[in-house]
Structure 1
Amino acid sequence: MNTISGAIARMNALWGLAMAGRRSPWGGGDAGGDKGDDDASGEDGQDGDGKGDKPQDRRGPRNPWLPSGDAPPRRSASIEDIFRSRDPRRPGGGSGGPGGGFPGLPQRPDGKSWLPIGIGAAVLALVVLSSVHMIGPKEQGLVTLFGKYSRTIDSGVNFTAPWPIEQVDVEDVRSFTVDAIPEGENEKLMLTSDKNLVDLSYLVRWNINDLKDYKFRLADPKESVREVAEAAMRASIAQISLNDALSGSGRAQVEEDVRNRMQRILDYYKAGVAIQGVEIKKADPPAKVVSAFQQVTVAQQEAERDRSEARAWAQQLLARAEGDAESFEKVYEQYKLAPEVTKRRMYYETMERVLRDNDTVISAADGVTPYLPLSEVRKRTPDNTAAPVPDATASGGQ
């Protein structure tokens, strides 16, 4: 135990001796912290190398990250001193170097600034870019002179006066614009001729046919097209019944009627728009009464089925009647040729048809057995076929 304590004491003594000869990088005291600068330099204010410290070396702590260990003098916090230090009129002041000049730009060989040349180049580039216009194959450009219409330019390279004298507004005039009415999954209810409501969803395809009218006649051409489409659709739906609107049988006529109405209205206002087509996507009953409409539809389908079955039965009955009439006509023709033979044959056929399914027959004719065991006769026949009815004349009676 004493050996360990002695080793620790010797290590502490060696560490104290090693740190006693080192100076603190922050100035002031040594590494041991119990001696000042006076201990490391001598009584006469000299360092270990025999040279005296400068007065500024003792003003404060030193920066260990600088080569000399001294911090540079701090800059003044006054805004006036900062701008005064960059005054180009002072020798060496400003970023343009001695003699002044525009800050940040080099000087020309003759000593003048590049600023006028730079401004002139920017103005020239603006003039060139605002005077040359490349119009696409499906586009047209509307040229305005100080805000007033001047002309319309077609596709290709075109030249105009520079901005702000003339401006060009380019629009696509050949591609179709498709408007869905209503937008999204909203409900659009319209009244039919029989005072019922129907939920309609349709598409309108249109394009620009006169760019001048399109730009200057209407404040908002796109919204105007949508409003005209809704007005025309309501007017057309009000002329047909609910069944025609839901069944789809009259949709083609409604679509054509709406397109013609829209074109007449837009031409009247000189909107510069051509309506290419109208397509009804959906025609359903209102959402609140869908179940009732479904029940009505089921009832209508059942009624139509019953009517179809009745028509089929009537056709079958009529065909049978026509067949019987044709058969009677043939029999009548034979009757006119041989009345007695025809009557006898008809009598036999009738009796055969009547007695075919009877088991017992009682006859009161003279000379005929009153009881005919037809069931026993059928059993005795080889193929269980009905025995032929005996001829009444053969027994002495008719």
Structure 2
Amino acid sequence: MGGNSSNGSGSKNNGPKNQGPWGQPPRGGNNNTPPELDELLRKSQQKLKQVLPGGFGPLGFVIVVALLFIGWLATGIYVVQPAEQGVVLRFGKAVSTSLPGINYHLPYPIETVLTPNVLTVRQTSVGTNARTGQAESHMLTGDENIVDVNFTVFWRIKADGAADYLFNVQQPSVTVKMIAESAIREIVGRSNLQPILTQARQETEENVKLLMQSSLDGYVSGIEITQVQLQKVEPPAEVIDSFNDVQAAVIDQERMVNEAQAYSNQVIPQAEGNAQQIVQRAEAYKQSVVAEATGQAARFISVYNEYAKAPEVTRDRIYLETMEKVYGRTNKIILDSDGNGVVPYLPLNELNKSNKGAN
């Protein structure tokens, strides 16, 4: 076996030196330079000899160096698209920013440029792991209930934060998602379950947005949160049926309360109106009684004054007036005891009736 190994190695070492790695002879006359490069250099020298007067001498060398230098300077020209912002790096450090259009920086490797898109609104979904499909949104509320929250965060690079976005945050999407999860858990942990499910959704979104923006600004991330949109807010699937029953009972309760409130709004104004009417009638009766009493008192005083002047005359007049009122509604004829001027057999009752009928 040793002899075979020696013969094999000898055949490899003793092969022709001009063969390639697979035994073929190299193409071209030069063993160290590929024929394509030799041909390219030869053609380039011929073109330079045609262009440069006197061949490729010192002047030609200067011209070539000048052209190469101009080409090197031209590498600093760059274009920033309308939705982008240029961040110029000098030896890797951000030194300035540039607006959309044609711009210039010092040639490579002195300066380079990065052009992140600052107008595109990116979105990050929170609640479900995209790789595993498992829920990440179970949270504990302030009243010790479990709620399942899925939401989407819309964000973009700040107008003046492109450099911060590129160098202060290593993985922006992951950072936004982690901060969003932390913010929603803090906000939900301070809130009760019922408002989050019903009327406080918009307030929850705004609070999460403000808290996220505060955290990102603390990291100097150059990221602006434009909107937080709650997609799903509900109890876990394991207890959703029981929760729906509770919600139905709450809805019935609210309906009954609203009906009672409507009835109250109808009855109370009516009762108040009736009470006001009774008060007004009593006030009118009071004024009437007071006025009548005042009139009677004034009449009594006037009669008393007349009586004080002529007691006998006043007494007779009052007596006659009283008798007139008492006997005015009767069919009796009262005569003086003397009967002067009266015919005893005159039918006074019939005459009286006829006089009343004539009147």
The answer for unaligned runs of 5 or more in structure 2 is 1-15, 50-59, 289-359
Query: CA distance change for structure 1 residues 189 and 153 in 2, over 3 Å: closer, same or farther?
Result: same
Paired residue secondary structure (2:85) = strand
Paired residue secondary structure (1:161) = coil
Deviation at 1:133, TM superposition (A): 0.6
Write the deviation string for residues 94-124 of structure 1: whole angstroms up to 9, x where unpaired.
Answer: 969xxxx915765454998xxx99x989977
One-letter amino acid of the structure 2 residue matched with residue 267 of structure 1: D
Counterpart residue number, 2:19 = 79
Corresponding residue to 1:273 among 220, 223, 247? 223
Q: Which structure 2 residues correspond to residues 157-172 of structure 1 after superposition, within 5 A?
A: 157-172=102-117
As a proportion of its length, which structure holds more helix? Answer: 2
Paired residue secondary structure (2:143) = coil
Q: Sequence identity of aligned pairs in percent?
A: 30
Write the distance in 2 (CA, Å) between the matches of 1:110 and 1:204: 61
Contact 2:73-2:106 at 8 Å conserved across structures: no
Contact 2:88-2:112 at 8 Å conserved across structures: yes
One-letter amino acid of the structure 1 residue matched with residue 250 of structure 2: Q
Deviation at 1:330, TM superposition (A): 11
Counterpart residue number, 1:102 = 38
Mapped pair 1:133 → 2:101: no
Write the distance in 1 (CA, Å) between the matches of 2:110 and 2:139: 50
Corresponding residue to 1:149 among 62, 78, 94? 94
Counterpart residue number, 2:123 = 178
Corresponding residue to 1:198 among 147, 163, 167? 147
Write the distance in 2 (CA, Å) between the matches of 1:274 and 1:264: 10
Write the distance in 2 (CA, Å) between the matches of 1:85 and 1:179: 58
Query: CA distance change for structure 1 residues 245 and 88 in 2, over 3 Å: closer, same or farther?
Result: closer
One-letter amino acid of the structure 1 residue matched with residue 164 of structure 2: D
Deviation at 1:182, TM superposition (A): 2.9
Write the distance in 2 (CA, Å) between the matches of 1:82 and 1:180: 60
Write the distance in 2 (CA, Å) between the matches of 1:122 and 1:332: 114
Write the deviation string for residues 221-272 of structure 1: whole angstroms up to 9, x where unpaired.
Answer: 332222222222221122221110001x112222222222222222222112
Q: Which structure 2 residues correspond to residues 233-312 of structure 1 after superposition, within 5 A?
A: 233-247=184-198, 249-311=199-261
CA RMSD in angstroms, aligned pairs only = 4.5
Deviation at 1:194, TM superposition (A): 0.5
Write the distance in 1 (CA, Å) between the matches of 2:71 and 2:46: 28
Query: CA distance change for structure 1 residues 109 and 297 in 2, over 3 Å: closer, same or farther?
Result: closer
Write the distance in 2 (CA, Å) between the matches of 1:331 and 1:201: 66
Deviation at 1:291, TM superposition (A): 0.9
Q: Which one has more relative contact order, counting CA pairs under 8 Å at least 6 apart?
A: 2
The answer for unaligned runs of 5 or more in structure 1 is 1-75, 338-398
How many residue pairs get aligned? The number is: 250
Corresponding residue to 1:189 among 138, 141, 150? 138
Q: TM-score, normalised by structure 1?
A: 0.50
Write the deviation string for residues 31-61 of structure 1: whole angstroms up to 9, x where unpaired.
Answer: xxxxxxxxxxxxxxxxxxxxxxxxxxxxxxx
Write the deviation string for residues 300-337 of structure 1: whole angstroms up to 9, x where unpaired.
Answer: 2233334445556666776887799899999999x999
Query: CA distance change for structure 1 residues 272 and 310 in 2, over 3 Å: closer, same or farther?
Result: closer
Write the distance in 1 (CA, Å) between the matches of 2:79 and 2:39: 39
Write the distance in 2 (CA, Å) between the matches of 1:186 and 1:82: 60
Write the distance in 1 (CA, Å) between the matches of 2:47 and 2:117: 53
Q: Which structure 2 residues correspond to residues 1-398 of structure 1 after superposition, within 5 A?
A: 79=19, 82-83=24-25, 86-87=28-29, 102-103=38-39, 107=43, 108-109=45-46, 127=72, 130-182=75-127, 187=135, 188-209=137-158, 210-247=161-198, 249-311=199-261
Contact 2:147-2:236 at 8 Å conserved across structures: yes
Write the distance in 1 (CA, Å) between the matches of 2:213 and 2:206: 11
Write the distance in 2 (CA, Å) between the matches of 1:85 and 1:269: 61
